[in-house]
Structure 1
C-alpha cells in the first residue's frame, strides 16, 4: 500500500470512528446534561485514534463486519479516553492540556472529570454488549478480554506501578513490564477484538497477533518517551517534558535518547516479522506499526 492509500484509509477510519463515537455516546441534551456534555467534550474531535485504527486493520484482515468494528472501535477508544481523563487529574499526573485543549477537570471540575471517566468505562462495555450479530460465546470472550486489558492486570495495574515508581530507578525489565500493562494491554486488546469481530482465532493466529501487539505496545511507549524529551507542547497537544519534571523513569532516562530511538526501530522490525504468517493481507497492520514508530506527536 502506498503512503497516499494508507493515509486515505486512515482518514476514512478516523471519520467512521468519530461518527460511531457520536452515535454511541449519550447526547448532551439527555440528563444529566453536564456529565454527557463533558463525555462528548473529551471523546469527540481529537486524538490519533490509534486503538480504533488497530481494531479496523485487524478486522479487515479477518473479515470483520463494519457495524461490529464500529462498536469495537468505539469501546476501545472510550476506555482509552477514560484513562486519559483520570490520568490528567491532580491526584494522578496533574496535567492541564490534552489533545490540544484543556483537560476535563480544568474545563469543568474534578468531580465531573472523575464521573466522566467512570461513565466512559461503563459505556464501553454497554457498546460491546449491545452487538447482536456475534456468536454469544465470542461476544462474552470479547467482553472479558476488554475487562482484563483495562483492569488491575492490565492498564490500571500499569498505571499503579507507574505512580509508585516516581523518583525510583527501575531496570529496563521493570520499565518494560510496567508499559506492557499500562500501554500495551489496551493496544493488544484493540487488535484482538478487531480480529474477533470477524471470526474465531486459532492459537497460532492469536500468538502471532500477540507478538505483533507486544512489539507495537513497547514501541509506542518508547516513542512517547522520546517525544516527551524532544518535542514541544504545541506539537504534542499535551505538556512536553513532564516525565523529566516529575522525575519519572522512562526509556530515555534509562537507555539514553539515541539508544531509545534504535530500540523503537528494532521493535518496528519485530512487529513486521510477527505478521509474516498473514502475508500481504496484514499490510495495514504493518503500516500502523510504521506510524507508531515514525510519528512526530
Structure 2
C-alpha cells in the first residue's frame, strides 16, 4: 500500500492540460495513476487527462512561458487563502482574490503582480450576503476560471444553545451555500473547456469534532458545515468520474492562521497563544499536502495523516453501513 509523506487522499483523477495555441489553459498539472481501489467510488476523483505538473513551486512567468489560466480564491485576505494564492501566482496563474477586506486584497494583488508578473484581480465581496455571493458567482461563470479554491469560512465557535441565529446563518451561508453555488457555477464551464480543478476547504473537525479525549466542544455548527463539504465534494468527484476535472476536499487540522483567533467574527483575547501552544501546522505544509495530492489526482486530503489506514478504515465503515441497508425491510 502506497504511503505519502504528508497528506493522504483517496481516489483517482486527472488534471488539466495547458493550451498549446497561446491561450491560457484551465487545468493545473496532471493527475497521477492513483491507487488501485475497491468498488467504493465515492472518493474517486474525476478525470484522467494529463498535463504539466503543478507543485506550487514554479518560478512565475519567464520569457516565453504561457500562463496557466485564472484561479479564483475565496478567503484570500489571510491564512490558507492568501498563501495558496501566492503559490498559484508563483506557478503562473492569474488570480481573482475574493474577501471582505479591501486593503488586504489590494496589498496582496499588488505584491503578486510585482513578484510574479501575473494578473491579480481583487474582488471585494462578503459571501455571507446574497449580493456578495451573487457577484462572485457571476465572476466564476464568466468562463475563464480554471482553478476554484473555496476557502472562505466562518468558524461560528460557541455553545450551540447560546449561538446567535444571525451568526449561525452566516456560518451556513459561507461554509455551505457559497461553496455549493460557486462550485455549481464553475463545473459546467470547466466541463465545456475539458479541464479544471476545484478545491473545497473543509476541516478535520468534519471527522473528529466529537471524539474524546478532546471533544473540541462549541463547534457543532462549524463541524457540521464542514461535514457537508466533505460529503458534497466526495460525491461530486464520483459523479464527475471519467471527466478531466479534478476535485479535492482539503481537511486541515489546527493551522497557525488568524482564523482561530476569533469566535465567529469576535476576537478572543489569548487565543493566539493557545493556537501556538497546540502546535498548529504551518500553512505552507497544508498547501504542500494539497498540491501533492492534486498531482496524484486524489480527493480527500488530510494534511499530516501518514499512510492510507485511517481513510481506508473510514471507507470500510461506509461500505459496511451501505451493505447493512440492503437487507429485507421489516
Normalised TM-score (structure 1)? 0.34
Pick the structure with more helix per residue.
1
Normalised TM-score (structure 2)? 0.31
Determine which structure has more spread, i.e. the larger CA radius of gyration. Answer: 2
User: Larger relative CO (CA 8 A, sep 6+): 1 or 2?
Assistant: 2
